[in-house]
Amino acid sequence: WPVYAPYVHAINRIKKERGAVILAHNYQTPEIYHCVADIVGDSLQLAREATLVEEEIIIQCGVHFMAETSKLLNMDKTILIPDQRAGCSLSESITGADVRLLKERFPGVPVVTYVNTSAEVKAETDVCCTSSNAVAVCESFESDTILCIPDEYLAMNVARQTKKKILTWKGHCEVHERFTAAELMAYREADPTLQIIGHPECHPDVIAICDYAGSTAGMINYVKDTRPSRVLLVTECSMASNVESEVPDVEFVKPCNLCPHMKRITLPKILDSLLFMTDEVTVDPAIAARARLAVERMINLKN
Ligand code: 13P
Ligand code: SF4
C-alpha cells in the first residue's frame, strides 16, 4: 500500500481541482476501489449514477463499453477512460451489422442487448439489460420470443427463469467461461458448508451448482447480508479482494480468474488521465441518440 500513497493523494487532490468524479466497477483493484473511487458498483448502478453526477468530468474506471454508456447518458460532459484499450470479449463478439441481420432473420422479435456491447450495437436494440435485470427486461415484452444477445450463457440462464423462448448469440465472457462445474464440485465436496455464488455470465452448469447467482453488486450484497463462514465468488479476482476487508468474519476461497481488460486500469493511468484529460470517449451523436433510448428504457423499467 505505501507504494500507492503518492498516487492516491495526487489523484484525490487533482480530481477536486478539476471538478472530476471517479466511477469504478466492482472488478477494479482494491487501491482504486477503496482509495480513489467516488462511486463503485455493477454495470446497472454505474449507468444510473452516470445520469446523476453533477461534475463535468467523469473518469470511468472499467472497460470501454461502460465509459461509452456514461457518454451516451451525458453527451455534454467529458468522459475519460484511463486506457481506451480496456475492451471486453462480449462487446467485441457482435457488431451493429450482425444485429441488423438478426432483425431481418427474426422480424418483429424484440431485441434485448446486454450492456456489455458497443454504442453501435445498442443503437440497433429495443432495450438494454444487465445481469441483474435481464429476466425482468425480457419479461417486460408481450412477445413469446425474445432475442437476448450477445451473451449465450446469460441468455441460457435467463431461459431457465422464464417461459419465453430466448434466442441468442455465441458471445462469451472470456473470464467467466473458464469456470467449470467439475472444478466447483471438487470445492463443494471438500467442504459441503462452502457457499458458492456465481455471475450469470458463467455456463448454466456452473450456475446450477451455485447457492446464489447475480450481478457483481448482487453477489457483494449476498455476502454482506448472509455472512457465510466460507464463500467462493465465481467471478473476477478483484471482487473478493474488494469485499473481504468489509466482512472480516468471512473466509474467501479464491479460484478466481482475472479480466485482463479491467486490469489495464491502474493508479498511474488514472493520474495521467486527470493530468492530460485522456483518453476521451466520444460517440457519434446520431448513434448516441438511438443507443441512449435503449439504455434509458432499461433504467426507467421498475426493477
Ligand atoms: P455486472 O453488471 O454484474 O457488474 O457485470 C459486468 C461485467 O462485466 C461482468 O463480467
Ligand atoms: Fe467483459 Fe468478461 Fe471482462 Fe466483464 S469480465 S469486462 S464481461 S471480459
Nearest Cα neighbor of 218 from 37, 26, 85 is 26
Ramachandran angles phi, psi of 71, nearest 5°:
-65, -45
Cα separation, 223 vs 235, in Å, equals 14
Backbone angles phi, psi at 196, to 5 degrees: -115, 120
Nearest C-alpha to atom 3 of ligand 2 is from which residue?
259
* One domain, residues 18 and 146: no
Which residue range(s) make up the domain with 23?
2-86+263-283
For a mutational test of ligand 2's pocket, the pick from 81, 117, 176, 234, i.e. the residue with the most ligand atoms closer than 8 A to its C-beta, is 176
**With bands split at pLDDT 50, 70 and 90, how would you rate the model's confidence at 3?**
confident
Q: Are 199 and 175 in contact (CB under 8 A)?
A: no
The pLDDT tens digits for 31-81 are 999 999 999 999 888 988 988 999 999 999 999 999 999 999 999 999 999
| Residue 215 and residue 149 share a domain | no
Residue 213 has pLDDT above 90, yes or no: yes
Q: Which of 48, 49, 177, 199 to mutate to test the pocket of ligand 1 (most atoms within 8 A of CB)?
A: 199
Which percentage of the chain shows pLDDT scores above 70?
Answer: 99
Sheet holding 165-167, edge to edge: 127-129, 111-114, 145-149, 165-167
Number of domains observed in the structure of the chain:
3
Alpha carbon of residue 247 to chain centroid: 22
Ligand 1 close to Cβ of residue 126 (< 6 A): no
| C-alpha span between 261 and 267 (Å, rounded) | 15
> Which value does ipTM take for this structure?
0.98
pLDDT (0 to 100) of residue 250: 97
Shared-domain flag, residues 38 and 170? no
Question: Is pLDDT above 80 for 184?
Answer: yes
Domain containing residue 140: CATH number: 3.40.50.10800
Point out the ligand 2 atom lying closest to the alpha carbon of residue 62. 6
- Residue 104 and residue 169 in one domain: yes
Tell me the Ramachandran region of residue 25: left when phi exceeds 0, alpha when psi lies from -120 to 50, beta otherwise.
beta
The reply to whether 98 and 226 lie within a common domain is no
286 Cβ neighbours under 8 A, 6+ residues apart:
none
Residue holding cell 467467466?
176
Q: Can you say how many angstroms the Cα of residue 27 is from the centroid of all Cα atoms in its chain?
A: 8
Q: Annotation-wise, does 221 bind a ligand?
A: no
For residues 228 and 267, membership in a common domain is answered with no
Ligand closest to the CA atom of residue 298: 1
Atom 4 (ligand 1) nearest CA? 42
Give, for 214, the enclosing helix (H) or strand (E).
none
Render pLDDT for 249-271 as a digit per residue (tens, 0 to 9): 999 998 889 999 999 999 999 99
Are 9 and 79 members of one domain? yes
Question: Which pLDDT score, from 0 to 100, does residue 48 have?
Answer: 86
Q: Could you tell me if 272 and 278 are in contact, meaning their C-beta atoms sit under 8 angstroms apart?
A: yes
Residue 303 has pLDDT above 60, yes or no: no
